[in-house]
Amino acid sequence: MVHRIERRPSLSRVKLPAVLSGIALFLTLSLWPEPKLSVSAERRGNQPLPTAHLSPQQPASPPSQSKNEAETQSLEAGKPIERELAGGQTHAFRIALAADQFLNVVVEQRGIDVVAALFGPDGQKLVEVDSPNGAQGPEQVLAITQAAGNHRIEVRSTQKEAAAGRYEIKIVEARAAEAPDHKRLAAQKLSAEAAQLRKNPSAESLRLAIEKHKEARSLWQELNDPANEAQMLNNLGEIYYSLGQYQQSLDFFKQMLALCRAGQNCIWEAETLANLAFLYDTLGRKQEAIESYNRAIPLLRAQNNRGGLATTLSNLGLLHWSMGEHQQALENYDQALKLYRELNDRHGMAFVLNNMGAVHDSLED
C-alpha cells in the first residue's frame, strides 16, 4: 500500500509556561502548522490565539454541581492547592475580595489542558483564560474587582475524554489596585482582541492582530514583564508564520529565545527551540533544524512534556525522512508512537503509523 507522508501541524504556539523570570506567563501560543513548530500540546487545525476572554457583560453560566457552596473550596494567598482533574470535570474555588483589588491567580497545568474563569459576587463572568499551551504551563487570570464579596474561580477540562492530569492553583497577588495594574489589564485586553481577530484568517484581520500584539508587547516592556513580553513575541512569530512570512517568524522566535534565556528557570526554552527547528526546516536549513530539535528533546524529557516530546520526535522523523535517513526517521517515529499511545492520542498514533508505513514503502523500493 502507498502511504502519503503527512506533516503534522507544527508551529506550536509556544506557550510560555511559566517562569521566565519568576513571573508566571499570561497568554501563550504554540504554532503548529503541519509538522509542528513547537511542542506544547497539539492544536487541531488552525486554532485561534488562545486567550483571555474579557466578558463582564456575559451572564452567569447555568448552575452546575461544582458551583454549589458546599463543593467550592476556599483559596487563600500563600496556600496553593494541587488537585487532580479528569476530562469533563470542573472544580470551583472561592476567594473573598474587597472592591478595587488587583487579583493575579495562576493555574499551573501538569498534564491536562484547562480553562480558568473568574466570576464576580453576582455570578457574572469577568475573565476567562485558555492559553494555547496545551496540557503544560500556566493559565493566568488577571482582574481588578468592581465589588466586594466572594468571587469564584472555575477550573475545567477543555476535553470531555481527556485523561486525568493535575494542576496547581495559587493566588500570586491580591492587593489594592495600582495604576500599573490598569496597564496590565489593557495589555491582556489587547491580546484577547488579537485572539478574536485570529478567528478570521484573512490578511487584514491578521494584520490587525499583529498591531494589537505589538501594542501589548510595548505595554509589557514598560511594565518590565519579560514573561508576558516573550508571549507576545511568540504570538507574533506564529502569526507571521501563518502569513507565510517565515523569516519574520524566525526573527520573533529568536528574540523570544534570547529573552527566555536572559531570565531564570525558563521552562519554555524547549518549545521555542522546537519552533525554531520547524522554521529552519521550512526555510531549507535542515542541519540547523536537526540541531535545534536535538537541543529541545532533552529539555522536554526533563519537563515530562510527553505531548510536546511526541510532536517534536514526529517532526524530527519527518525531517530525517526528507533527507533520505530512513532508519533514523523510523527510530524517531517509534519513540513518538509510544508516547502517543501513553497519551491515548489516536490522531497522533494514526499520523505516525501512516508515516511509518510510507518510510517502509521507501525502503522496499
Report yes or no: 93 and 152 within 8 Å, Cβ to Cβ.
yes
The pLDDT, as a whole number, for residue 312 is 95
Burial class (CB in 10 A: 0-12, 13-18, 19+), 221: middle
Could you identify the residue written with the cell 514503502? 361
CA 150 and chain centroid, separation: 29
Q: What is the pTM of this model?
A: 0.73
Alpha helices, DSSP H, located in the chain: 179-198, 203-222, 226-242, 246-262, 269-282, 286-303, 306-322, 326-342, 346-364
pLDDT at 3 > cutoff 60:
no
Could you count the other beta carbons within 10 Å of the beta carbon of residue 170? 18
Cα dihedral 196/30/139/116 (nearest 10): 50
Q: Which three cell numbers stand for residue 137?
A: 504551563
Q: Which three cell numbers stand for residue 237?
A: 512569530
Could you identify the residue written with the cell 489593557? 186
Q: Give the least confident one: 53-57, 66-70, 166-170.
A: 53-57
The architecture in CATH of the region 51-364 reads Alpha Horseshoe (1.25)
Give the model's confidence band at 96: pLDDT under 50 very low, under 70 low, under 90 confident, else very high.
very high
